[in-house]
Structure 1
Amino acid sequence: MPLRRDGRGSDMIVSVHLGVRAARTALGRPPRPGAVPGLRFATTALTGALAAGPPAVRPGRAALLASWDDDAALDRFLAEDPLARRLAGGWQVRLRPVRVLGAWSPLPVETDPDAALTDEDGPVAVLTLGSLRLRRTVPFLRANSRAAGRAAADPSMLAAVALARPPRFVATFSIWRTVSAMSRYAYGTAHPQHRATIREHRAEPFHHEAAFVRCRPYGARGTLDGSDPMATAARDPSRPKLAG
């Protein structure tokens, strides 16, 4: 894991912002590292429901996915940047990466072992990131529909959204009640749709490069479809009390 000069784990964080009445934002130029202090990566994207069937863009909603040197850099962006103001009416959450499978070069991820998650240690956020091979678009959509339909039906999933910036960037963002609940969906034998998608990707990749990033979510603001998924998790009597 990359270390800071003081020997401690990285302070790098990821943020996801979902804005309402902001579709033009998704099609505009994303913020650029170097122009925004502390920004490492950013992309804006169209959004849709994570569900079975053909992709359905969510009218009026836009997303910003970004990574930052630390919380202070994100705080400055939220206080000063016009794009942050355009997205402020929706929902945003901060993520501390704890595990990465694969690699996606536009967003190098540093993990923090101090934020590691145990199986039942509160909610877990998952980002899947990919640069689509255009000739594999139809097989990808077919396989993704099966896996997404199963995820949408899982009562342990608190929130989910599909992200896309044509022609190549595709991603999903989801929040689950616990690591074990997420793992049962991803790797369990009762519902094999996700495992089948993984096998198909390994046999003939859908993407030029792809990554699965597990994160500890924290610092949520606003609402998503009328509620805050993190507040829902905090009220859940079936899981341990959230730390911090």
Structure 2
Amino acid sequence: MALHSFHLVHLAPHHGVRALLSPPSAPGLVHAEVLAGMDLGAPIVTPRRMQVGRLAVFAEWAEEAALGQFLAQDPLGRDLATGWHVRLAYQRRWGSVREVAHLPEHAEKTDLDAPSVAVTLARMRLPELPRFLRWGRPVERQVRDHREATLALAAMRPPNTVATFSVWTSARAMTGMVWGRDQGPTARLHNEAMAERERRDFHHEFTTLRFRPLSEHGSWKGRSGYVPEVG
């Protein structure tokens, strides 16, 4: 069965740089995005905006056995096996980035009351970076601090790739945030940022992907159980 995975691991910085410069290739690996971790809402000029010792990898696999073989035998895979990852069943796609454009827009009906995982992937227009940061940083804090988001982070790879990853107690909670149906002064931030992107795009390519979590493995920052009801 085809599946996706999202991995987080702490590495020595020089190992992180090597992984960023040498994308993995392995049997059954359809595509991988290797990125440096980034704290949501961090100041613009700070080392927290690109942490090469905190690696994030988003990958698509032809079958689950290929992921298991990669984690057991590939040098990067063995590093990732010491961290945390979640295995994912693909559900929906909005927008398009070339490397994942083969995914159907609708693959599986979403249970709005079940846990949900969202991944965004974008190739930035570098001249638009100041606008993107001005509109994006408040949204980063909105997602980071949302009571229904159990894990939320961002990642990047120079020169222009950015991504976000978030785990939600339910798809209903996630879509409520996206469409501004929450209460409070920050409720409309994400919706307003999307409208600004429609007015003048920040990106060459942009996609949001929704997944159903299948299983969670390992630990991140000393804990596990980020995905509700998934062992």
- Same fold at TM > 0.5: yes
For 2:157, the equivalent position in structure 1 comes to 165
1:220 to 194, 204, 216: 216
Verify: 1:118 aligned to 2:111, yes or no.
yes
For 1:61, the equivalent position in structure 2 comes to 54
Distance 1:161 1:193, change over 3 A: same
Structure 2 CA distance for aligned equivalents of residues 22 and 127 of structure 1 = 25
For 1:50, the equivalent position in structure 2 comes to 40
Larger mean CA deviation between 173-182 and 39-48 belongs to 39-48
After superposition, the C-alpha distances for 1:140-185 in whole angstroms (9 at most, x for unaligned) are 1111101111111111000011010011110001000001111111
Secondary structure in structure 2 of the residue aligned to 1:225:
coil
Structure 2 CA distance for aligned equivalents of residues 109 and 94 of structure 1 = 19
May I ask how many residue pairs the two structures share in their alignment?
A: 221
Normalised to the residue count of structure 2, the TM-score between the two structures is 0.88
Verify: 1:188 aligned to 2:166, yes or no.
no
1:92 to 68, 74, 85: 85
After superposition, the C-alpha distances for 1:111-159 in whole angstroms (9 at most, x for unaligned) are 59775322112x1000011000011011111111011111111110000
Equivalent AA in structure 1 for residue 37 of structure 2 = T
- CA RMSD, aligned part only? 2.1
Verify: 1:83 aligned to 2:79, yes or no.
no
Larger mean CA deviation between 156-165 and 42-51 belongs to 42-51
Contact 1:158 1:229 in 2 (8 A): no
Deviation for aligned residue 1:102: 0.6
Structure 1 CA distance for aligned equivalents of residues 225 and 165 of structure 2 = 12
Structure 1 CA distance for aligned equivalents of residues 104 and 216 of structure 2 = 20
Unaligned runs of 5+ in 2: none
Structure 1 CA distance for aligned equivalents of residues 107 and 129 of structure 2 = 38
For 2:143, the equivalent position in structure 1 comes to 151
What fraction of aligned residue pairs are identical, expressed as a percent?
A: 33
For 1:108, the equivalent position in structure 2 comes to 101
Structure 2 CA distance for aligned equivalents of residues 184 and 52 of structure 1 = 24
Unaligned runs of 5+ in 1: 1-10, 235-241
Structure 2 CA distance for aligned equivalents of residues 139 and 229 of structure 1 = 36
